[in-house]
Amino acid sequence: MIESLRQDFKQLYGNDNTRVFFAPGRINLIGEHTDYNGGHVFPCAISFGTYAVARKREDDRIRLYSKNFKNLGMVEFTINNLSFIKAHDWANYPKGVLSVFKQNGYNIDSGFDVLFYGNIPNGAGLSSSASIELVTSVMLNELFELNVEMISMVKMSQKAENEFIGVNCGVMDQFAIGMGKEGYAILLDCSTLAYRYSKIDLKDASLVIANTNKRRGLADSKYNERRNECERALSQLQQKLDIKSLGELTEETFEANKHFITDETDRKRAKHAVYENQRTLKAVDALEKGDIELFGKLMDASHISLRDDYEVTGKELDTLVELAWKQKGTIGARMTGAGFGGCTVSIVKNDYIDAFIENVGRQYAQKVGYEASFYVASIGDGAKEIQQ
């Protein structure tokens, strides 16, 4: 794969004196829509992601090309002209990261050529955008010898998405992709960025990702709307409680004070944020004690809450999860990512994976009218340069 990408680079740009970088996608095992509510998440990096083959130039020109968006051709601009241009489409992500690096005073003193290629299904909710941001961050850090710590790159990548792209995302995607570790998921407190690695030992089971193949545009979905609903609920609770985020509440405290949230919809959104955060802590505890069955039950409960209280699932995700629940060998299943399309994640006993994929796939196509895609996920490392 890497050798063929180098050859593609040479055909595109000439000289192949290149370096190669990689950033994974991520899957969140539990803890959805909790990150911007000051709660906990439990993501891991997965083995597919985004490659960047790059080399520095002598002048100030930047040329970007993606094998995933060949129809858009090469995107060109200069190092001192980093404005958001709608026609530049995907290239606004690396451009945004470069802009934030420069705002933070990092000395990027020449242009560069990059060939990007991602094998994350686009729009699947496995964080292809954060993957592009982190692979760009690592590339800039190494090419220009900036000595930036990974946590700083994570924060700058998030800032690029928030301020340059205009998606008000939490920090989970960038954190999981930057800080991922093979064989481990990360329990992350999104309010403090305190984290710990937790070994994923599923014994005789594996993670199966199912892609609805319904495209999900995050910036124009209801993501920012949900965030506003939670902020309204929080501000009403803050009139009675000394809290900075919904993630600080236990279920009991929420139940005792939920009547202060006057809008019923806002109350449901806040309930999900509080209960999902507590569910995540219970799930990690169960996993660390080897209780995979309880972890699976908490995944199921997470999906029900995302469906009923947060209302971010939709027909495709619900169909995939409900079919998964009916299969022999399924320990737990839920939607993962922002919702409104994208993917589900299931824990399935290895002996039943083939039957699971066949049955769920067939019945999903019958109900929805088009096919889902399935991947057995392995948990990989975070963003890095690939040493030749």
Which residues belong to the active site? 173
Record the tokens describing residue 282, joined without a space.
Answer: 């219970």
Q: What is the DSSP string of 165-209?
A: I-----SHHHHHHHH-BTTEEEEEETTTTEEEEEE---TTEEEEE
Measured CA to CA, the distance from residue 272 to residue 230 in angstroms comes to 10
> What's the angle, vertex CA 221, arms to CA 216 and CA 224, rounded to 5?
135
CA distances from 326 to 12, 287, 331, 354, 356 (A): 49, 23, 10, 15, 9
Record the tokens describing residue 116, joined without a space.
Answer: 């990007």
Chain-centroid distance, C-alpha 377: 14
Beta partners for residue 40, in sequence order:
189
Classified as helix, coil or strand, 212 is coil
Measured CA to CA, the distance from residue 189 to residue 248 in angstroms comes to 11
Closest CA to 33 of 340, 328, 366: 340
Measured CA to CA, the distance from residue 82 to residue 169 in angstroms comes to 21
CA distances from 292 to 200, 326, 355 (A): 10, 18, 21
Q: Where are the alpha helices (DSSP H) in the chain?
A: 2-13, 92-103, 128-143, 150-159, 172-179, 223-238, 251-257, 264-288, 292-308, 315-326, 353-368
DSSP secondary-structure letter at 24?
E
